[in-house]
Amino acid sequence: MDTLIHKANILTEALPYIQQLSGKTVVIKYGGNAMISDDISRTIMQDITLLKYVGVNPIVVHGGGPEITKMLEALNIPSKFYKGLRITTKEAMEVVQMVLTGKINKDIVSQLNFLGGKAIGLCGKDANLIEVEPMEPIDGVDLGYVGKIKNINCKVLEILARDEYIPVIAPIGVGPDGHSYNINADTVAGEVAAALKAEKLIFLTDVDGIRKDPQDPESVISVITVEEVYDLIDKGIITGGMIPKVKGCIKSIERGVKRTHIVNGTIPHPILLEIFTDKGIGTMVTR
């Protein structure tokens, strides 16, 4: 009986958050190390499906860096990065598109549909969903086929999300020349959330959130402001792959997203624990 009462208490704790989010859009960036464990991936898919069933409109943006790197290695194509961004040659771009749209995207769609969701896989080339221009060199380093987002076609996402579907987006953009361009998935998630003025943007990563001390797992900051984030970047505390995430948080907040979250996606049910409990488990970035 105590176990049943505990479960009932959990449901009542979630009730006000469900009411607050009903009918609202939540953008979820899923990728990297959150994809490695099949068991954890299953709980994330369950979280996303449950969101849809309780009236929330989830939109998934996925990455797939480790799988891309693995495939490039198998084909003897070198992987190079600069400031957290993959340098993408034409040869590498073909592999990136194949892995992201042909494998990972469809795997996620299949998992969500198996759980009772109605997921639809998309990339930026579908209905010109993500229009980009070639990114200018950074510090003189040419990133190749890496795109800078110019426009998000909100209409197609709004039609799908407000109906019974769960859009699943691969971070491939279409350039003015019609070619495919690689885009950092964190950047895509931030731009999509901003364009839709989503209620929440959630980044699933492999750390518990933003830390005051990168080496101390107990130093996670529960709530941080945009100004404080910039200060941590200047001090070199926020570095590497975390920079696109926090910049995605900042940009989306400045353009109308209410709350952004950086959450450890390597634990079971990270989405439900963050948004449907009083304490949460990660870092929430606010204005």
Helices (H), 105-264: 105-114, 154-162, 185-196, 226-234, 242-254
Is 255 marked as binding a ligand?
Answer: no
Is 190 marked as binding a ligand?
Answer: no
Q: Count CA atoms closer than 13 A to 278's CA, side-chain side.
A: 5
Rounded to whole angstroms, the Cα distance separating 216 from 4 reads: 37
Is 9 marked as binding a ligand?
Answer: no
The answer to whether 69 and 182 have CB atoms below 8 angstroms apart is no
The answer to whether 258 and 199 have CB atoms below 8 angstroms apart is yes
**Please, which residues have CB within 8 angstroms of residue 95's CB and are 6 or more apart in sequence?**
68, 71, 72, 75, 77
The candidate with the shortest Cα–Cα distance to 249, out of 274, 198, 209, 286, is 286
Rounded to whole angstroms, the Cα distance separating 180 from 147 reads: 9
Is 65 marked as binding a ligand?
Answer: yes
Rounded to whole angstroms, the Cα distance separating 65 from 92 reads: 12
- Which residues line the annotated binding site for substrate? 64-65, 86, 182
- Which residues line the annotated binding site? 64-65, 86, 182
